[in-house]
Structure 1
Amino acid sequence: MHLEVVMAAYNDPEVLTLTLEGYRRQTERNFSLCIADDGSGPEVAEVIERFRGLGLDIRHVWHEDRGFRKAQIVNRAIEGSRADYIVLTDSDCVPMRHFIADHRDWARPGHMVAGRRVDTAEGLTARIKSGELSLAGLEHPLRLLFQSLRGGLSRAEFGLHLPRWAAQLWSRKQLALLGANMGVWREDLMAVNGFDSDFEGYGAEEVDLEWRLIGWGVKQRAMRGRGGLIHIHHHQRQADAYVFHLLQHKQQAGEVVARNGIR
């Protein structure tokens, strides 16, 4: 199974560097990356070129910056992929070292996988960026717990790498898809025509994709205790109000296949 990580990115070469270092640490090396770039400047392209030189198999798909158009650029990345299975994530989410291996293990025909992430606080993020704190070291369960108790991060439990039987037991209850950590078969994404590119404001494009995949017959599969990410803190932008009205309108219309998608 050819697995490709499609990573949405925009104008943060410093954090992208941390994330790509995470992919260099993977225990499973059989994967490719695609940076779906929503209009970044040349600094991001320079980071990508440097990591290509370090051995990562990376495609870079870019379009002009004309506002938040994540759905459109990720669709271009999906369309150009030759992978069987696609893991969707963001460039500010650093994978723990078993991330690829866990997604490969969790993939099942007819299913999409919903993973989760640990969220770092502003203070801890500053220490990570300065090099004072190692992201690789932060994966240790005791360090996760320690930083959680100190308020340095939240959702530490999603950074644990449990024995497979324990992770499967914990994953029995469903999770909603999180755009930063989800696995979907490419043929299922193509069947529903990918993301709906009508969603140009921030928010709702992932919720829309999830309900259309369910409408197509794809089942949900949670992944807890495996496949963790460390989300690097940034100031959250507010979702654009109109996109949720658009989502409601589209759900009422019941169109599972996006009219304005990949094709």
Structure 2
Amino acid sequence: MTHPPPPVGVVVPYYDDQPRLTLLLRALAQQRTTVPFEIVVADDGSPARPVIPPGLGRPVTVVSQPDQGFRAAAARNLGATHTAADLLLFLDGDTLPTPGYVQAMVDRLCALDDGSGALVVGRRRHADLGSVPADEVLRFLCGDTVSGITVLDEPSWLRDGYARTDDLGRAGEEDFRLIISAVLGVDRRLWSAIGGFDASFVGYGGEDWDLGWRAWLAGARWAHEPAALAWHDGPDAAGRAASSSGSAANTGKNTESLRLARTIPLPSVRGRALVLAQPDIVVRYLGPTTGTAADAAVVAGVVDLLAGVDAGVWFPRCSADGPDRLPPLLAQDPRVRAGQVPADVLRRARFQVSVTRPLTLSAPLDRCCAAGEWEVPGRVSIRRTRSLNRGEPPPPRRPIARPGPDPLVRPIPDDVSLERWWGGW
């Protein structure tokens, strides 16, 4: 039994470039596909409302947001809210699809999804279209040789990255850098799970890597689809940066790096020393507390867990002003919070650790997480956020080590003396 193709929405972020928009819409009109799709032009506050040329043969909706700077992430989100399509294809306004683009993206998205969401990146190539007439550019997109168009080098960092990961089939957590929003497709379920693009990104770059990071943690499968080819008019960002001064290029890239360090907690993105609102490791302390000095063992355990790692601790059973309060001293640490872990924090944390009794580990918490998923029943459980979101089975159990050298998990007695514990006596 064959199923009808899912409805598709193509979202085009746009700002004040009518000739290029017209050309892009004409390129979408010549798609060779059996898939019904609609187009949403998301205007990022252009001085004049974009004009939709007649005779496209596809439904087109125009939506607008105020001009508050370069807000491509917010524009894409706006466009996505104005289509009920099951599959969302994002295509930048300066990127022109070849006639097989939509069909190739849809086919790969449908084949890829295993129930945890799918993300597909098309192939973006670069050309200098110069002043070639629009009809000639459309012929070029169809594969014809057209004089006056110069094909530019493909960015080596993308080409090599897709080759190394077998077109993202063997991608790992560091490969979010291979996700580019200019030629991006996701299914609606994944889009809803990750909350779309982060609309707080203003300025060029970074929002697609942030979305890719959250999609990875959400459990999505990724793919790069070479058959979904679209042409960008001009070089990629690296090529444009090479033509500017080194200082200007570094400033632009550093602006992006500083923004991403707030939301992607990998050491390769933010280093290892900062204490930021978004931790790499989320710890939930699920045991009882009293809000008095009787919580000394809890305090000792949390101090040990936080030592030298990028982590935050939440006490879901505690409230800021209720009878179940945070243990004394811990309330003064900005990494320790009462209540549930916010959803936005969970979407970006690599690891989730549950602790039910005061304990200390034989190695720093980040090393224990890097060792793999495991649990000691009734004491501690270490899970990867991606594994949890993919519904993978519980990790192997490890017993509490007997007294001896280098135990993996050592309980902290309720009657611990903090003076002796911290003093090493």
Map of 1:116 onto structure 2: 123
Question: Which gives a bigger RCO, structure 1 or 2 (Cα 8 Å, sep 6+)?
Answer: 1
Map of 1:41 onto structure 2: 47
Deviations along 1:30-79, one digit per CA (max 9) or x if unpaired, are 111111111113252x2x2x24x542211112011121111112112222
Which structure has more helix as a fraction of its residues?
1
- RMSD of aligned Cα (Å): 2.8
Verify the 8 A CA contact 1:116 1:229 in the aligned structure 2: yes
Map of 1:16 onto structure 2: 21
**What percent of counterpart residues are identical?**
26
Q: Does 1:248 align with 2:265?
A: no
Structure 1, 17-26 or 104-113: larger mean CA deviation = 104-113
Query: Secondary structure of 2:45's partner?
Result: coil
Measured after TM superposition, the shift of residue 223 of structure 1 is: 0.7
Verify the 8 A CA contact 1:115 1:177 in the aligned structure 2: no
Verify the 8 A CA contact 1:119 1:232 in the aligned structure 2: yes
Q: Does 1:231 align with 2:244?
A: no
* TM-score, normalising length: structure 2: 0.50
Q: Distance in 2 between matches of 1:173 and 1:15?
A: 36
Q: Does 1:27 align with 2:32?
A: yes
Verify the 8 A CA contact 1:171 1:223 in the aligned structure 2: no
Measured after TM superposition, the shift of residue 143 of structure 1 is: 3.1
**Structure 1 counterpart of 2:27, one-letter code:** G
Verify the 8 A CA contact 1:201 1:240 in the aligned structure 2: no
Deviations along 1:178-213, one digit per CA (max 9) or x if unpaired, are 111111011211111111122112110000000011
Verify the 8 A CA contact 2:27 2:97 in the aligned structure 1: yes
**Size of the alignment, in residue pairs?**
233
Map of 1:3 onto structure 2: 8
**Residue 113 to residue 34, structure 1, CA distance change in 2 (3 Å):** same
Q: Does 1:57 align with 2:52?
A: no
* TM-score, normalising length: structure 1: 0.78
Q: Distance in 2 between matches of 1:209 and 1:172?
A: 18
If you compute each CA radius of gyration, which structure gives the higher value, 1 or 2?
2
**Residue 68 to residue 111, structure 1, CA distance change in 2 (3 Å):** same
Q: Distance in 1 between matches of 2:208 and 2:167?
A: 24
Structure 1, 13-22 or 33-42: larger mean CA deviation = 33-42
Map of 2:137 onto structure 1: 134
Verify the 8 A CA contact 2:125 2:230 in the aligned structure 1: yes
Measured after TM superposition, the shift of residue 154 of structure 1 is: 3.1
Q: Which runs of 5+ in 2 are unaligned?
A: 1-5, 156-165, 242-248, 266-277, 281-344, 349-425
Measured after TM superposition, the shift of residue 246 of structure 1 is: 2.1
Match of 1:196 among 190, 198, 202: 198
Deviations along 1:53-110, one digit per CA (max 9) or x if unpaired, are 5422111120111211111121122223201010111111111001111111111322
Verify the 8 A CA contact 2:97 2:141 in the aligned structure 1: no
Q: Does 1:83 align with 2:88?
A: no
Query: Secondary structure of 1:82's partner?
Result: coil
Verify the 8 A CA contact 1:34 1:59 in the aligned structure 2: yes
Verify the 8 A CA contact 2:11 2:40 in the aligned structure 1: yes
Q: Does 1:220 align with 2:218?
A: no
